């Protein structure tokens, strides 16, 4: 087993029998892998995920063992399963050359956001040509969307996407992104530039994820349960998964122990204040003033935001 693991460290999954190759790698690495996965995950379950995903996406057999396992571990640590396994679109494992890449899906982020315990509901929809759509800001902010039963739901006919977030404290946030804004985000992303990207097969789902991520910039999530959502958004567009560093050294070097330390401290809040009227809003610590301006109704006719003193 040690010899097999040593060989697998420096070569691709693809071999005389790629499934047996990755099976041996999982078994040899399991003491390290188990440290960062939920208790319900077993070597057998990870093997099932690998077999199902590779069988449905054979190009993954050309990727390195390290990058593929790292993606499975990232998905499992977040409680998500790849789309090739269950078809739910919670996350995707996409081969980019010899490297597998973990991409969280709209439904995965949706699940993690609700699991945070701080959000009552999230509505994310796409508007197409032929739909009736009204977006109002100000004191009577609202979104009215009447879908057309005859609309052609092709990417080129998309007008915009929106996200309505209702918080447990009664607050409501409305975020709208035009098709042009969504396209800019797609072109800036690593995955959006490739022909085998999720944007090609699941454009609507990726558009929904894009507007949800934009909205989440100002979600005041603080609980420990919210950490999974924050980790998923941080993992988005990463080269491989979050645990690839576990495989940087040969697994037969028993003296080399890799500890994975996860940040469990909440990221906290900061306060933005309008210089014109003095209104204040608390937002996530990593939000920008542009995010706040885009996601909150104007507090006055001359809204000018700045960070509160000491923020």
In tens, the pLDDT along 67-121 reads 888 888 888 777 787 876 655 678 888 888 788 888 888 788 888 888 777 788 9
Are 91 and 123 members of one domain?
Answer: no
> Residue 145 falls within a domain, yes or no?
yes
> What pLDDT shows up at residue 311?
59
> Residue 285 falls within a domain, yes or no?
yes
- Give the global pTM: 0.59
103 CB contacts (<8 Å, ≥6 apart)? 91, 92, 93, 94, 191, 198, 236, 237
Per-residue pLDDT tens over the stretch 18-68? 666 766 777 777 777 777 776 766 767 777 777 788 788 878 878 888 888
E strands present in 61-171: 91-96, 99-104, 119-128, 132-136, 142-146, 158-167
Per-residue pLDDT tens over the stretch 211-260? 988 888 878 676 555 666 666 666 554 444 444 444 443 332 222 233 33
The vertex-100 CA angle with 15 and 112, nearest 5°, equals 135
Listed residue (16, 89, 13) closest to 47, CA to CA: 13
Are 51 and 130 members of one domain?
Answer: no
Higher pLDDT, 47 or 128: 128
If one counts the domains in the chain, the total is 3
Are 52 and 23 members of one domain?
Answer: yes
- Report the C-alpha gap between 99 and 69 in whole angstroms: 11
Residue 275's DSSP bridge partners are: none
> Residue 203 falls within a domain, yes or no?
yes
> Residue 257 falls within a domain, yes or no?
no
Are 148 and 85 members of one domain?
Answer: no
> Residue 111 falls within a domain, yes or no?
no
- The tokens describing 164, both together, are 């309505």
CA distances from 279 to 44, 49, 231, 272, 300 (A): 55, 50, 31, 8, 9
Are 10 and 93 members of one domain?
Answer: yes
> Residue 30 falls within a domain, yes or no?
yes
Per-residue pLDDT tens over the stretch 152-173? 999 999 999 999 999 888 888 9
Are 77 and 146 members of one domain?
Answer: no
Are 165 and 214 members of one domain?
Answer: yes
Are 158 and 128 members of one domain?
Answer: yes
- Report the C-alpha gap between 253 and 231 in whole angstroms: 29
Are 49 and 131 members of one domain?
Answer: no
- Report the C-alpha gap between 98 and 80 in whole angstroms: 23
Are 51 and 93 members of one domain?
Answer: yes
Q: What is the domain extent for residue 297?
A: 269-307
> Residue 259 falls within a domain, yes or no?
no
Per-residue pLDDT tens over the stretch 264-304? 444 456 777 777 767 666 666 666 776 666 555 555 666 67
């Amino acid at each position: 087993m040690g010899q097999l693991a040593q060989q697998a460290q420096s070569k691709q999954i693809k071999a005389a029998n790629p499934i047996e190759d990755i099976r041996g790698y999982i078994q040899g690495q399991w003491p390290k892998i188990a440290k960062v996965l939920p208790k319900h995950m077993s070597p057998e379950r990870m093997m099932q995920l690998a077999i199902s995903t590779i069988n449905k996406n054979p190009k993954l057999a050309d990727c390195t063992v390290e990058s593929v396992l790292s993606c499975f571990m990232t998905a499992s640590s977040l409680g998500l399963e790849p789309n090739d396994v269950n078809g739910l679109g919670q996350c995707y494992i996409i081969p980019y050359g010899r490297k597998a890449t973990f991409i969280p899906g709209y439904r995965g982020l949706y699940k993690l956001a609700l699991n945070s315990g701080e959000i009552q509901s999230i509505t994310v929809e796409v508007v197409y040509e032929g739909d009736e759509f009204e977006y109002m800001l100000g004191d009577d902010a609202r979104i009215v969307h009447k879908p057309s039963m005859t609309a052609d739901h092709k990417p080129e006919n998309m007008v915009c996407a929106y996200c309505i977030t209702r918080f447990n404290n009664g607050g409501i946030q409305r975020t709208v992104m035009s098709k042009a804004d969504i396209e800019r985000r797609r072109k800036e992303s690593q995955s959006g530039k490739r022909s085998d990207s999720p944007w090609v097969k699941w454009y609507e789902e990726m558009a929904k994820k894009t507007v949800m991520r934009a909205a989440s910039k100002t979600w005041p999530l603080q609980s420990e349960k919210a950490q999974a959502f924050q980790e998923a958004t941080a993992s988005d567009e990463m080269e491989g998964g979050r645990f690839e560093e576990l495989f940087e050294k040969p697994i037969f070097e028993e003296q080399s122990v890799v500890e994975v330390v996860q940040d469990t401290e909440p990221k906290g809040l900061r306060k933005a204040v309008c210089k014109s009227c003095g209104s204040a809003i608390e937002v996530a610590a990593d939000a920008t003033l542009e995010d706040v301006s885009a996601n909150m109704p104007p507090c006055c006719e001359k809204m000018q935001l700045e960070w509160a003193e000491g923020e």
